[in-house]
């Protein structure tokens, strides 16, 4: 069973990607069984028919009413309470016995990634030979300038830090919104921090410039460069690249079966 958790800032395209990638994989190879799980208790109009839906067990509305909380407190508690339903989710997954499991995570990534719930769920779901990965989405809209790119890079690194034993793919989502030169530039920043520093030098000023240069220097020294996978849900070629990358990760990571 191959699990892929889709994580990213609110609005970065997680739910749309889960929907499209599921259709894409099923259409491309009818031998592969793929299911989609919604782990967002606050989802209103989900972009896909979830095969398994946390909202069958817990919803934001119920939690707000029952504990007399506003939307923010409600979301935090609802996300934390998902832990109570891990056995139910496992039971449902087992009923499907799928090859691939695509998991949509809460709109606000910190609820899943930075509290206990995400890592606990990620290490608990699945049976037998399970491989796990995360796909972190860099929203094209947010990374056009060096400082937006660097803040998203920090976020991606924090998520990787929280799920250290799980391979992470960083993808640039919604590339249909950028022209080709801009896409190339952002992809270059993701592998060549020297280029990122140069762009920072040219385009940022004052404290932001100073901090951005320091951060890109740290990333450079860590050697933690991996090229962003450019994707879009409006064309098939984007999904093709992502699917191929996930397959390669799973193939090369067989020793990590646990």
Ligand X SMILES: Nc1nc2c(ncn2[C@@H]2O[C@H](COP(=O)(O)OP(=O)(O)O)[C@@H](O)[C@H]2O)c(=O)[nH]1
- Per CB under 6 A, residues contacting ligand X are 8, 10-16, 47, 107, 173-174, 176-177, 232-234
Binds 176: which of Mg ion, ligand X, none (CB < 5-8 Å by kind)? ligand X
Q: How far apart are CB 46 and ligand X at their closest, in Å? A: 9
16 versus 168: smaller Cβ distance to ligand X: 16
C-alpha–C-alpha distance, residues 192 and 202, integer Å:
16
Using alpha carbons only, give the angle 72, 78, 82 rounded to the nearest 5 degrees: 150
Over the range 33-44, which residues count as b (16 or more CB within 10 Å of their CB) and which as e? ebbbbbbbbbbe
Q: How far apart are CB 187 and ligand X at their closest, in Å? A: 16
Q: Which of 15, 20, 200, 232 binds Mg ion (CB under 5 A)?
A: 15
Binds 76: which of Mg ion, ligand X, none (CB < 5-8 Å by kind)? none
168 touches Mg ion by CB under 5 A? no
Q: How far apart are CB 70 and ligand X at their closest, in Å? A: 20
Binds 126: which of Mg ion, ligand X, none (CB < 5-8 Å by kind)? none
212 touches Mg ion by CB under 5 A? no
37 versus 196: smaller Cβ distance to ligand X: 37
C-alpha–C-alpha distance, residues 213 and 45, integer Å:
40
Q: How many CB atoms lie within 10 A of CB 27?
A: 10
C-alpha–C-alpha distance, residues 234 and 165, integer Å:
32
> Residue 204: helix, strand or coil by DSSP?
coil
135 versus 212: smaller Cβ distance to ligand X: 135
Binds 233: which of ligand X, Mg ion, none (CB < 5-8 Å by kind)? ligand X
* Cα 132 → chain centroid: 12
10 versus 27: smaller Cβ distance to ligand X: 10
Closest CA to 4 of 130, 126, 113, 134: 134
| β-pair type (34-38, 52-53) | parallel
Query: If 0-12 CB within 10 Å is exposed, 13-18 middle and 19+ buried, where does residue 119 land?
Result: middle
Q: For 33-149, where are the E strands, in sequence order? A: 34-38, 52-53, 100-104, 131-139
Which of these ranges, 10-18, 71-79, 124-132, 182-190, lies near Mg ion under the rule CB under 5 A? 10-18
103: β partners: 5, 37
11 versus 119: smaller Cβ distance to ligand X: 11
Q: How far apart are CB 126 and ligand X at their closest, in Å? A: 23
- Considering only residues 89 through 108, tell me which ones interact with Mg ion, judged by CB under 5 A: 107
107 versus 126: smaller Cβ distance to ligand X: 107
- Number of residues this chain uses to bind Mg ion (CB under 5 A): 3
Q: How many CB atoms lie within 10 A of CB 84?
A: 10
**Residues binding Mg ion (CB under 5 A):** 14-15, 107
């Amino acid at each position: 069973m191959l699990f892929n958790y889709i994580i990213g800032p609110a609005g970065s395209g997680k739910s749309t990607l889960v929907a499209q990638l599921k259709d894409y994989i099923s259409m491309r190879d009818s031998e592969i069984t793929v299911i989609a799980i919604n782990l967002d208790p606050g989802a209103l109009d989900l972009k896909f028919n979830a095969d398994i839906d946390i909202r069958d067990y817990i919803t934001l509305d119920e939690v707000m009413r029952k504990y007399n909380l506003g939307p923010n407190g409600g979301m935090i508690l609802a996300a934390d309470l998902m832990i109570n339903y891990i056995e139910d989710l496992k039971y449902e997954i087992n009923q499907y016995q799928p090859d691939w499991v695509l998991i949509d995570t809460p709109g606000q990534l910190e609820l899943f990634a930075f509290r206990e719930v995400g890592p606990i769920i990620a290490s608990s779901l699945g049976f037998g030979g399970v491989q796990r990965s995360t796909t972190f989405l860099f929203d094209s809209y947010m990374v056009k300038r060096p400082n937006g790119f660097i803040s998203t890079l920090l976020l991606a690194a924090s998520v990787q830090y929280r799920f250290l034993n799980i391979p992470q793919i960083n993808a640039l989502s919604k590339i249909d919104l950028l022209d080709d030169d801009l896409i190339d530039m952002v992809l270059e920043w993701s592998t060549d921090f020297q280029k990122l520093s140069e762009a920072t030098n040219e385009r940022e000023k004052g404290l932001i410039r100073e901090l951005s240069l320091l951060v890109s220097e740290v990333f450079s020294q860590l050697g933690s460069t991996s090229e962003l996978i450019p994707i879009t849900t409006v064309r098939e070629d984007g999904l093709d690249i992502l699917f191929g990358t996930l397959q390669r990760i799973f193939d090369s990571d067989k020793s990590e079966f646990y």
